[in-house]
């Protein structure tokens, strides 16, 4: 293991932390050297292991979960730290780790937005480290590319924004859609997107298909920042454990067609191993991307040929969180982009192989 990169996960007991632990424990170029979170002890007083909290990780990740502390994290001598922590916790911890020379992959929103003035409104705190925001690399690998290489602080994208930015950003940049009109996004997410903390609205008998955060969801400014479009976003909670399906409506720019939109996305993601543009007439489903790092995209127009409908699907815990963070880690350290993640290459027809 001497040549492997030393990795620490903070926030390991959460759904995203557990997903990270499972991926990184099997990563050919990574060695997990520390797991941190809210320390828990068993009946005998010993610190619980990750495999006690998530039995599926038995024999794969049996490290203890220790109380999160910057000094203890740095004592592990990590090359990289993944923060699967609340925004406020990441905002305080990330600068200390970066200053110590550790590469940080922050899965919270603490460093995603470039405008510090947006944090009090959308996240409820005043950013104390706004000077770091311009240097934080927005870690969507298909977009960031070489900017990830050498990055010291990677702001990993939100799950909903990932499902929107991947299909919309190239279309905006190429002038395929009418920038004077809003992009309307309706997304449905499984309950794991709300985290692992106990809440009545997340109980099995309480979950129902319903919109929430209407016209005020905190991910809207992130979508606008990274797509360059005015986005009207409505998320919906559905009775699934994981996955996101987004249906996106936009008007094509004058003189533009469905063929132009498809050619734009094919060109943008020709070398992207995890973006799959589906054949005409086939639409994404959560089942098709569950437990993968893939984003499936399909598109069509109405009879007038002027209104574009785009649909995308991702697993919110993988491509929307842990898997994408590992993908960014791979790019950052010059590894195979798909290392530890499996791979789904596209055929010439645009379907998964």
Report, as residue numbers or ranges, the catalytic residues. 159
Hey, what's the torsion of the CAs at 235, 237, 242, 243, to 10 degrees? Answer: -30
What is the rounded CA–CA span in Å between residue 79 and residue 176?
A: 41
What is the rounded CA–CA span in Å between residue 169 and residue 81?
A: 29
Q: What is the residue whose two structure tokens read 């379907």?
A: 351
For 30, the token pair is: 């990574």
C-alpha distance from residue 335 to each of 149, 157, 330 (Å): 11, 20, 5
Q: Tell me how far the alpha carbon of residue 221 is from its chain's centroid.
A: 15
Q: Which residues contact 102 (CB under 8 A, 6 or more apart)?
A: 74, 78, 79, 80, 81
Hey, what's the torsion of the CAs at 22, 25, 28, 34, to 10 degrees? Answer: 130
């Amino acid at each position: 293991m001497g040549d492997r990169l030393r990795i620490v996960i903070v926030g390991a007991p959460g759904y995203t932390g557990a997903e990270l632990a499972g991926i990184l424990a099997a990563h050919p170029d990574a060695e997990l050297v520390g797991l941190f979170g809210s320390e828990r002890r068993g009946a005998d007083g010993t610190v619980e292991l990750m495999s006690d909290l998530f039995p599926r990780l038995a024999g794969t990740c049996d490290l203890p979960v220790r109380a999160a502390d910057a000094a203890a994290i740095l004592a592990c001598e990590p090359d990289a730290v993944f923060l699967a922590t609340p925004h406020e916790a990441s905002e305080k911890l990330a600068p200390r780790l970066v200053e110590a020379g550790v590469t940080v992959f922050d899965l919270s929103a603490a460093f995603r937005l470039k405008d510090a003035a947006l944090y009090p409104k959308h996240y409820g705190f005043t950013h104390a480290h706004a000077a770091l925001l311009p240097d934080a690399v927005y870690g969507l690998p298909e977009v960031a590319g070489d900017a990830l290489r050498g990055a010291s602080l990677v702001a990993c994208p939100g799950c909903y924004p990932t499902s929107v930015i991947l299909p919309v950003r190239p279309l905006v940049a190429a002038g395929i859609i009418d920038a004077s009109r809003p992009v309307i996004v309706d997304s449905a997410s499984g309950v794991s997107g709300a985290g692992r903390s106990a809440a009545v609205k997340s109980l099995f008998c309480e979950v129902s298909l319903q919109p929430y955060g209407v016209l005020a969801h905190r991910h809207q400014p992130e979508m606008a920042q990274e797509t360059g479009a005015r986005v009207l976003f409505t998320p919906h909670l559905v009775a699934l454990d994981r996955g996101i399906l987004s249906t996106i409506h936009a008007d094509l720019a004058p003189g533009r067609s469905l063929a132009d939109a498809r050619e734009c996305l094919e060109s943008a993601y020709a070398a992207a191993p995890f973006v799959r543009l589906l054949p005409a007439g086939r639409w994404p489903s959560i089942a098709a991307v569950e437990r993968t790092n893939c984003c499936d995209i399909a598109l069509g127009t109405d009879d007038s040929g002027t209104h574009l409908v785009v649909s995308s699907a991702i697993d919110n815990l993988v491509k929307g969180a842990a898997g994408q963070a590992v993908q960014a880690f791979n790019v950052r350290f010059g590894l195979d982009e798909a290392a530890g993640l499996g791979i789904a290459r596209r055929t010439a027809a645009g379907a998964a192989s």
